[in-house]
Amino acid sequence: CPFVVAEHGGAGRRERSGGLDRMHTMQQQRRLLRSMAAASGASSRITLRSMATLSLPQPPCSPLPRSSPSFPLPRARSSLWSKQGRCMIILPEKKKRGGGAYVEAPYEIAEPTKESEKFAQKCGEKKVKKLSQPGSNFAFLNRPKANHALDLSMIRELKKIYLETKLSPTIDLVMVTGGNETAFCAGGDVKALAQQGIQPMGNKAPQMKFFKEEYKLNYLIANMAPKISVAYVDGWCMGGGVGISIHNQYRLCGEDVIWAMPETALGFFPDVGGSWFLPRLKQNVGIYLALTGKRINTIETCALGITTHFIDNCHIGLLQERMDSTSRFVSTEAFDLMLDVYMRDVEHKIIPPTGEDRISPHLPVIEKIFGMNKIDDIKSALEDVRGSGNEHAAWAEETLTLLKAASPTSLDVTLEQMKRGLACEDLLECLKMEYRMARRFLANPDFFEGVRSVLVDKDRNPKWAPRATPEQVNEYFEPLTSEPELDG
């Protein structure tokens, strides 16, 4: 049976956990941490013993000095470094689902609450905080009141961080993450875009500056090789948040992901490279997600290949400490070695034991129905499935409800977007197409009505414009004549 013994100086104080690797209360844990940190002299020591001790392989890298700052990822807890350089990390699992996680490693003394307060003070009003280590850059989204929704200043700051990583001969890795347990990034700040008003074609649309720089950031993230790009996603990840995560080489996810491309319900379309990655998901499931805006959870993002690795919430702090103590990531193989300790590799079908996969059982039906070429045919097929009373009937009912809430024009344009995106040769071609689409949606009242009904008044009762004709749908993809295109 695993056990923990904590010895405090010559007094030989012992805390036994009754066979479990955890302290009974957070108050006891903090009291013990403070007493250990306050101890002085060579007699103070921490000894951790456990039959479930983690064995950490050492990749080809060198440790940082103990004074290097910690990157406070969500749910991470600070560690304690004794005079002998031994360290205890205590990570109580969320909702008391089991015990804490412990590991010994050299690090610095820090009080969890004080560290988080200090970090918040350092961030101040900065919406993106960069923390640099030798060999790596970390981008920390810091707009919690808006669930880290992206505005133009955040996009520019992220671009600086990624570009610095790409051009530096000494920085090997860049990682982006959200700043709290609720959200990674809830999308672009579409409320701010809608407040600038409808923009008829021929007028200069101020919102296009946002889309131009956002799409260029998406392209930069997708072309970071040979540098290593990582996103850690937990909580809300929607729209623009998908754009700054999906194009990274490594897409790590926590236990509480809520992922969606909900643009059709806003009178818009799934952009940020959605034309590239959505139609390339298996069995037309990307087209289903694009049209319905269906929200999916952690296990579903793993099963569909949207994320590449799953990490238990209780292990994120351990990964943080390991990344902090690594000065060079000489190859993806070295980083893979590090991930193997803490992660569940989605590619090898080690799926997280959290949530329920409500998508995979319907994949054969999704593949058939969402392979059709017209929205009317898709709805008709869904109504047939709903009326059949089989195991897919409830799913078909839900899907029809989601389609009913969307803008009719957005549905037609998005379906055409998926077809054209699948024919594009690369991401840049898709982003250029989406830039044209975005400009024309700004001339369409549906986007502004969708934002009003969902995000402003929140009455969920949009008054959509009449459905576009097939000729009008094709116009969304035509080159811009009186305005500049997206350049490479």
Phi, psi of 258 (to 5 degrees): -125, 100
Give yes or no for a contact between 322 and 338, defined as CB atoms under 8 angstroms apart: yes
| Four-residue CA torsion sign, 156, 160, 165, 171 | negative
Residue 336: name the closest of 302, 309, 298, 299 by CA: 309
The beta-carbon contacts of 78-81 under 8 Å, at least 24 apart in sequence, are 78/110, 78/111, 78/112, 78/115, 79/105, 79/107, 79/108, 79/110, 79/317, 79/321, 80/33, 80/36, 80/37, 80/46, 80/107, 80/109, 80/110, 81/106, 81/107, 81/108, 81/109
How far apart (Å, rounded) are the C-alpha atoms in residues 112 and 132?
20
Q: Which residue has the tokens 């990674």?
A: 184
How far apart (Å, rounded) are the C-alpha atoms in residues 281 and 9?
58
- Assess whether 336 carries a catalytic annotation: no
- Assess whether 459 carries a catalytic annotation: no
| Alpha helices, DSSP H, located in 231-279 | 240-246, 274-277
Query: Quick one: 186 exposed, middle or buried, by C-beta within 10 A (0-12, 13-18, 19+)?
Result: buried
| Alpha helices, DSSP H, located in 304-374 | 316-324, 332-342, 363-369
- Assess whether 188 carries a catalytic annotation: yes
Active-site entry in 172, 214, 255, 271: 271
Active-site entry in 188, 235, 239, 267: 188
Q: How many CB atoms lie within 10 A of CB 107?
A: 24
Active-site entry in 263, 312, 324, 412: 263
- 176: Cβ–Cβ under 8 A, 6 or more apart, which residues? 138, 139, 141, 158, 161, 230, 231, 232, 244, 245, 248
Query: Residue 51 corresponds to which amino acid?
Result: M
How far apart (Å, rounded) are the C-alpha atoms in residues 89 and 103?
6
- Assess whether 487 carries a catalytic annotation: no
Half-sphere exposure in the Cβ direction for 309 (13 Å, CA): 25
How is residue 443 written in tokens?
A: 């001339």
Query: Residue 443 corresponds to which amino acid?
Result: A
Active-site entry in 240, 274, 317, 421: 240
Residue 462: name the closest of 437, 486, 444 by CA: 444
Q: Which residue has the tokens 């077809």?
A: 419
Catalytic residues: 188, 240, 263, 271
